[in-house]
Chains A and B, each alone.
Chain A
Amino acid sequence: MKVSRRNQIFWIVGAILIIAYAVIPVLWIVSLSFKEGDDITNKSFLPTVWSWENYRTVFASDLFTTALRNSVGMALIATTISVILATLAAYAISRLDFPGKRLVLGVALAITVFPVIAIATPLFNLWRTIGLYDTWLGLIIPYLSYSLPLAVYVLAAFFREIPWEMEQAAQVDGATAWQAFRRVIVPLATPGVFTAAILTFFAVWNDFVFGITLTSSEAARPVPAALAFFQGASQFSQPTAPIAAAAVVVTIPVVILVLLFQRKIVAGLTNGAVKG
């Protein structure tokens, strides 16, 4: 009994250390974003005066607000398209017997490991010729190249676990085909679709390579790319603290999703990889 209590303390200390590991760099950028004036270069973790100044600067700048709009819009569109197409494909893969279902999964996997930059550079050339350079569509299409395989992969792993026989069972018990689908299958499948949507959103939201290679103006530039261009474009020489503020703003959606759906995200990440 005594031993196990000591053990448990050991694990708790470990857990606290890990939480600190995960959170400290985030707290650092949050703290930096509240610094102002001389505090910015005070080289200590916390500001002496907490100020909203940087957030005001960031939201007053078109550079950031347009980028934020671009990021949100394009991420939502790419996620929606990916999840719809992937749901259909994953259903077919897990439920139906047809030649080439392994091929679909294989291609999805092969694409996820492909270097994004190797796709971005040829597109740079092509998009300029056909006029998709620096447009939303010109980014959403390449986003699909990694969001769709990811969604297919995650959903196929989820759908494989669904007890599809329950649909027939419900019909035997007198449910119509639609009721069986609506009441039995949809509730079972929704969590998977949802998880796939979150993971896909994270992936697209994170994009930087396409964002900097395929845009040249505010028209389509997403936030991560805009952050990198903040440097020269701002009127002050070193916009460190405003960058920190902008970084915090784009981290908020991630933190909210993580807080709400922690369990689902973990399941989605591990299902595909370990059982796939």
Chain B
Amino acid sequence: MSTTIPAAPPQKVAEAGKTTRFRLTDRARKERNLGWMLAGPAFFVMVAVTGYPILNALWLSMFDYRLTDPAGRDFIGLGNYLTILTDGLFWRQFGVTSLITVVTVSVELVLGFGLAMVMHRALYLRTALRTAILVPYGIITVVSAYAWAYAFSNTYGFVNGIFGLGEFDWFGGTWSALAAVCVAEIWKTTPFMSLLLLAGLAQIPDDYLEAAKVDGATAWQRVKRVILPNMKAAIMVALLFRTLDAFRVFDTVFIMTAGSQNTETLSFLAYRQTISRVMVGLGSAVSVILAILVVLIAVMFVKVFKTDLSQQRGDRK
């Protein structure tokens, strides 16, 4: 995936590897064994702790199975999937999840870019800035959700006071509740985005910007023509990570609205079906669908990413 990204010289590494393998067959075999001995345990644990549940979910998703009624367990093939995909509720939650994802990720991209620019340029307050920015990143999502839920609350919060909204109930309607959820998500995850963008920004040689300046480019032109094209890879990686993460949004919604006012997301649906309603079969099917959607998003990104990068390379030549 992101193995093809920038700077590092992968060819050289591959060449070096090839020559050693060619010359020292015996040693190479030992190296191979040692490699698997060291990497094996981690690999095995990773595959076991995720592979098993995934396969198990696939299996269970084909049963009409309620935990409280094990005797009534019935194989129904793709029946659960049919139930879910023909249910308006699922599509609404898919819509809510997509909306949250698109809104938060696009706001984060713009905001994160601004943050990255400031972090890159500011000569003073550098350490304070980076320390402060890591607080939202490191803070527990549930804590952030509570902080924002109370801030927006019309019983405890200060938000209404500041904006003169009186007794406005943010959690009384779908749109305002979703807005509050998005604000909390954006606050918590923009720092991560901005740090990834900052890393991309730092890789742009200063000469490029100097040259553009000498040639009379305005600040906006410099951003658009020099900075953005040169940090495409970083932007793509940041977008990919954040989109996949946003699509799984759960904690914030659970704490802030508990899914009321039609703010349920797909992760929340999977949770509610399995844990609250103990409809294990149906819940597993939702989990599988969610996983497939995430994989699809990742594949889409990587496709766009690849054509984009090769185009970029072509342009330069």
Question: Measuring CB to CB, which residues of chain A are less than 8 angstroms from any residue of chain B?
Answer: 8, 11-12, 14-16, 18-19, 21-23, 25-26, 28-29, 32, 40-41, 43-45, 85-86, 88-89, 91-93, 96-109, 111, 113-126, 128, 141-142, 144-145, 148-149, 152, 160, 202, 205-206, 208-209, 212-213, 223-224, 227-228, 240, 243-244, 247, 250-251, 254-255, 257-259, 262-263, 265-266, 269-270, 273-276
Within the complex, what minimum Cβ distance (angstroms) separates A92 from chain B?
A: 4
B84 at interface, CB cutoff 8 A: no
What are 5 residue pairs bridging A and B, where the CB atoms are less than 8 Å apart in the complex? Answer: A28-B151, A121-B271, A121-B284, A125-B280, A273-B241
CB-defined contacts of A123 to chain B, threshold 8 Å = 53
Looking at the assembled complex, report how far the CB atom of B5 sits from the nearest CB atom of chain A, in whole angstroms: 7
B72-123: which have CB < 8 Å to A?
A: 114-115, 117-119, 121-123
User: What residue of chain B has the Cβ atom nearest to residue A105's Cβ?
Assistant: B3
Total CB contacts across the A-B interface at under 8 A: 318
- Chain B contact surface mostly: helix
Number of interface residues of B (CB under 8 A): 110
Most chain A beta-carbon neighbours within 10 Å: one of B3, B60, B132? B132
Mask for B220-246, Cβ within 8 A of A = 1, else 0? 000000000000011001100100110
Which of these, A97, A106, A145, A208, contacts B251 with CB under 8 Å?
A208
Q: Indicate whether B125 reaches chain A with its CB closer than 8 angstroms.
A: yes
Tell whether B303 is near chain A: CB-to-CB under 8 Å: no
A45-B158 CB under 8 A given contacts A117-B250, A119-B50, A224-B141: yes
Inter-chain contact A208/B271, CB cutoff 8 Å: no
Expressed in whole angstroms, the minimum distance between the Cβ of A109 and any Cβ of chain B is 6
Which residues of B are found within 8 Å of A269, using beta-carbon distances?
137, 192, 195-196
Residue B300 is within 8 A (CB to CB) of chain A in the complex: no
Contact of B248 among A98, A116, A224, A243 (CB under 8 A): A116
Rounded to whole angstroms, the CA-CA distance of A121 and B35 in the bound complex is: 34
8 Å CB interface, B256-313 against A: 267, 270-271, 274-275, 280, 283-284, 287-288, 290-291, 294, 298
A12 touches B122 (CB 8 A): yes
Tell yes or no: B47 within 8 A of A by CB: yes
